[in-house]
Amino acid sequence: MAYDTIMVFPDKFKNHILPDQVHILNVCFLVPELRREYGGCAGNIAYNLKLLEMDPYIMATVGKDFDPYAQWLDHCRIRQDHIKVIEGSYTAQAYITTDLNDNQITAFHPGAMSFSHENRIVDATGIELGLISPDGKDGMLAHAEEFSKAGIPFIFDPGQQMPMFDAEELRFFVDRASWLTVNDYECELMKQRTGWSETEISDRLDALIVTKGEKGSTFYTGGSVIEIPPARVNATRDPTGCGDAYRAGLIYGLLEKSSWETTGRIASLMGAIKIESSGTQNHSFTLKEFRDRYRDNFGDVF
């Protein structure tokens, strides 16, 4: 759970960064547009799952400044049973600057997130599927082991926290997860760190899912490679949170026991809907509207 301060730089970073001078980098980006949004992977994914009429549980640690976010979750009717307030800490804060090419530079203060290991998976009951997204390192490792011991299948989504883990730790996650979802850059980093190819990674999982932005996504599963097309986008406004929306679509498809092709298309459409809206939790739709748009994009129904 995090507060996102989102800034838009009305130019391109590459026009102001000299590649051969990065060792003395000193730049300032003027950002006329600034918003403060509710964010964090858990909050964003839960918000999108709620739009899909599912009942998600957030497990997270937050700070003394969480009250406005808690009120928003109440408004969205999202459960807070397993959100723990850490007194003396701030809720995690992300400061995100996006340029006109949708490149992003992010500064992140973890705050209360560093205490995520104080939450225990066994404290939640009736859970069918879990997801470990970027969180405190100790918490991510502990929750993977707890999910595994409890027999709860889970998605491993390392995201921007991947650099925290060494090769042995990344192999630890892969060997316990049912699914791994990464973007194309993260996939290359995962391969480099573990020494495993896409095939070697996917052989240890039910599926390896690699997102590729506007090029769609690829599922490696059961020795097959399934290409998922991107959904049509009406307007590109803000890429922040698109990956979280995509992951909510994955969870929906998995819980509904949909085919990989259908699951990937649902996830793709979720990402497309999110990018049309500024912020991570400002878009909305009914499930009927979502189904109609799915049919318009892909020519079938789910």
Element of type H or E holding 170 = helix 167-176
Amino acid at 84: K
Closest Cα to residue 33, out of 101, 92, 94, 98? Answer: 98
Split into its structural domains, the chain has a count of: 1
pLDDT of residue 264: 98
**d(Cα 184, Cα 238) in Å, to the nearest integer?**
19
Element of type H or E holding 5 = strand 2-8
Whether 99 is in a domain gets the answer no
**d(Cα 164, Cα 70) in Å, to the nearest integer?**
29
Whether 107 is in a domain gets the answer no
**Whole-prediction pTM value?**
0.90
Whether 102 is in a domain gets the answer no
Amino acid at 3: Y
Closest Cα to residue 163, out of 131, 188, 196? Answer: 188
Q: Is the pLDDT of residue 104 over 90?
A: no
- Output the domain CATH number for residue 278: 3.40.1190.20
Show the domain range for 244.
41-91+117-298
Q: What is the pLDDT of residues 137-150, one digit of tens each?
A: 999 999 999 999 99
β-strand 179-183 against 154-156: which pairing, if any? parallel
pLDDT of residue 171: 97
**d(Cα 300, Cα 293) in Å, to the nearest integer?**
10
Query: Lowest-pLDDT range, 5-14, 179-188, 204-213?
Result: 5-14
Query: Lowest-pLDDT range, 65-74, 100-109, 183-192?
Result: 100-109
Q: Is the pLDDT of residue 249 over 90?
A: yes
Query: Lowest-pLDDT range, 25-29, 128-132, 153-157?
Result: 25-29
Q: Is the pLDDT of residue 134 over 90?
A: yes
- Look up tokens 């507060």; give the residue: 3
pLDDT of residue 115: 97
**d(Cα 108, Cα 90) in Å, to the nearest integer?**
12
The pair of structure tokens assigned to 287 is: 């499930």
Contacts of 124 (CB under 8 A, 6+ apart): 57, 59, 81, 82
Q: Is the pLDDT of residue 18 over 90?
A: no
Alpha carbon dihedral 249, 151, 180, 131, in 10-degree steps, equals 50
Whether 98 is in a domain gets the answer no
Whether 96 is in a domain gets the answer no
Read off the pLDDT of each residue in 46-73 and give the average, rounded to a whole number.
Answer: 97
Q: Is the pLDDT of residue 230 over 90?
A: yes
Element of type H or E holding 273 = helix 260-275
From the number of C-beta atoms within 10 Å of its C-beta (0-12, 13-18, 19+), residue 166 rates as: exposed
Whether 215 is in a domain gets the answer yes
**Neighbouring C-beta atoms of residue 20, cutoff 10 Å:** 5
Average confidence score pLDDT of the chain:
95
Query: Lowest-pLDDT range, 63-67, 187-191, 220-224, 278-282?
Result: 278-282
Query: Lowest-pLDDT range, 41-50, 91-100, 285-294?
Result: 91-100
Amino acid at 48: N
Whether 151 is in a domain gets the answer yes
**d(Cα 259, Cα 249) in Å, to the nearest integer?**
13
Amino acid at 132: I
Whether 32 is in a domain gets the answer no
Q: Is the pLDDT of residue 225 over 90?
A: yes
Element of type H or E holding 7 = strand 2-8
- Look up tokens 């990464």; give the residue: 182
Q: Is the pLDDT of residue 19 over 90?
A: no
Contact 297, 264 (CB under 8 A): no
Q: Is the pLDDT of residue 21 over 90?
A: no
Contact 86, 115 (CB under 8 A): yes
**d(Cα 103, Cα 25) in Å, to the nearest integer?**
18
β-strand 33-39 against 179-183: which pairing, if any? unpaired
Q: Is the pLDDT of residue 279 over 90?
A: no
pLDDT band of residue 255 (cuts 50, 70, 90) is: very high
DSSP label of 229: P
Q: What percent of the chain has pLDDT over 90?
A: 86
